[in-house]
Structure 1
């Protein structure tokens, strides 16, 4: 196994959705997308954001874009205008998720996963 960060095989886009945030993870390659389908689960994302995501996490697959889209419910303390948090913005959640570490199995080559 090789320990990697999610940012090694994907990039992200994220933003506010009311009191939650929307995080899109886009794999650089088809091999990376197949790996993420198995490894980037709702449970793993919920655990990664356990200190800020008080609600549920939903995952949507977007195969034509090699992407996974996550909705983190109740993660912004009521939203940008209602929250007492210093920066209740979902735009930072994509970068935060890219810092997640994953174990890449030996049979999935790291070569060819990056752009």
Structure 2
């Protein structure tokens, strides 16, 4: 199953850093998100697109995870030549992550 079947996401940016909040539709799915969607797995999913560290923050009271990805926007909004300088499409790309069957 794709991650998008149990969660939605929002993306923000600051300079060359992208932040993706991943929120479970149903709080009962949060433990699965916390177990399956690790910083390492997110890094593997994005590959060379993210050149820096990825830090995961857990927000269980909201059923959410927040991923802060450094060096992810080609230098940042004012320096990057990429089409999506704010990285807004990164949240959609994360939702394509394939989850193992439970």
TM-score of the superposed pair, with normalisation by structure 1: 0.84
User: Shift in Å at residue 62 of structure 1?
Assistant: 0.7
Q: Which consecutive residues of structure 1, in runs of 5 or more, have no partner in the other structure?
A: 106-115
Q: Which runs of 4+ in 1 moved over 3 A?
A: none
Picking from 10, 17, 21, the partner of 1:20 is 17
Picking from 59, 78, 82, the partner of 2:79 is 82
| C-alpha contact 1:12 1:25 (8 A) present in aligned 2 | yes
In structure 1, what is the equivalent of residue 7 of structure 2?
10
Answer yes or no: is 1:42 the counterpart of 2:39. yes
Q: Secondary structure at the match of 1:43?
A: helix
Q: Secondary structure at the match of 2:12?
A: strand
TM-score of the superposed pair, with normalisation by structure 2: 0.94
In structure 1, what is the equivalent of residue 95 of structure 2?
98
Q: How many residues align?
A: 102
Q: Aligned Cα RMSD in Å?
A: 1.0
Q: Over alpha carbons, which structure has the higher Rg?
A: 1
